[in-house]
Amino acid sequence: MEHADTDPLAARRRRVLVTGAHGQLGRALQEAFADEDVLALGRGAWDVTLPPPELPPPPPSLVLHAAAWTDVDGAEADPQGAAAVNVGGTMHAAELARAAGASLVAFSTDYVFDGERREPYVESDGPNPLSAYGRTKLQAEGAAGEDAWVVRSSWLFAEQGTNVVRTMLRLGAEREEVAVVDDQRGCPTYVSHLAAATRELVDGDLPRGVWHLAAKGDCTWAEFAEAIFEQAGIACRVRRIGSGELARPAARPAYSVLRSERPGAPQLPHWRDGLRECLARIDR
Ligand SMILES: NC(=O)c1ccc[n+]([C@@H]2O[C@H](COP(=O)([O-])OP(=O)(O)OC[C@H]3O[C@@H](n4cnc5c(N)ncnc54)[C@H](OP(=O)(O)O)[C@@H]3O)[C@@H](O)[C@H]2O)c1
């Protein structure tokens, strides 16, 4: 076995700390940085509402903060709980990065926008979150600090975890028809594409601050569900409904397509390509 101190490659590898390591994005980040010295911390290893634990040396040179409260409806009932994770957790991640002299990437969301526009949101557009979740994520962007990369993305899906692709595959196998909202438009983004774009941002040492990194193209949830059934070969009809029919606790933006206006912004593949790649890797 080769030891780190005799392995010339090990010396060049960065210690990359991933928080929320068992989430959809946390797993994809581990894959995208697999050639580095990744320290992956799930909630059991670090509950980010608490100060950082003692870490094994060496200190990280990069912190990828993927831990978050992502239950959008649940945040309406427990906004303090959501804030403790999203705002408090990001403050702790920033503290850790500062103490280690590491760079920080914090992830944020299209739900910081109110969705009143009908053309893509760019980084300089003013946020105005409609939900408790969106408010905590906007505050978290501030908590990340000016030296962080703040990556806003949208409608994440992956082969594991809780997401619309997995939900539709399950429902499509059980039912002949599903009702899906057709009055919210966004960019369904495959986490592996987001993780690769994040790596491009970091490795290219692009300027810090807010970046919009989301899949090319846009659609409504109903259009996305139709594409899932079509690509997966499932004969299930999609009945298009309005958000009002679902009466969910949290309001969502009607339009939250994200694009970057920043020079050199990493470009992600189209959401249909992300869906194809995800379905090819998913356990069915
Ligand atoms: N999902 C989306 O559609 C979406 C869209 C835009 C932006 N984002 C942002 O992208 C990032 C990653 O989201 P995701 O989709 O990967 O979410 P996810 O699958 O829900 O993963 C979040 C992870 O954070 C962990 N976590 C929750 N509370 C924690 C705590 N107190 N301490 C440590 N870990 C904790 C969760 O652990 P448990 O499993 O134990 O709860 C989970 O593993 C988040 O910042 C999210 O706001 C997500």
pLDDT at 70 over 70: yes
The pLDDT value given to residue 284: 67
pLDDT, average across residues 32-50: 98
pLDDT at 5 over 60: no
Closest C-alpha to 206, from 216, 194, 197 = 197
The pLDDT value given to residue 2: 41
The pLDDT value given to residue 266: 98
Ligand 1 pocket residue status of 153, Cβ below 6 Å: yes
The pLDDT value given to residue 83: 98
pLDDT at 1 over 70: no
The pLDDT value given to residue 12: 75
Element containing residue 239 per DSSP (H, E): strand 237-241
90-118 residue pLDDT tens: 999 999 999 999 999 999 999 999 999 99
Distance 65 CA to ligand 1 centre (A): 9
- Put simply, whether the predicted model's pTM sits higher than 0.85 gets the answer yes
pLDDT at 261 over 60: yes
Relative to the CA of 137, which ligand 1 atom is closest? Answer: 47
Distance 158 CA to ligand 1 centre (A): 12
Best residue for ligand 1 mutational test, from 90, 112, 156, 194 (most atoms within 8 Å of Cβ): 156
Closest C-alpha to 150, from 94, 101, 210 = 210
Best residue for ligand 1 mutational test, from 63, 70, 131, 137 (most atoms within 8 Å of Cβ): 70
Mean pLDDT of the chain: 95
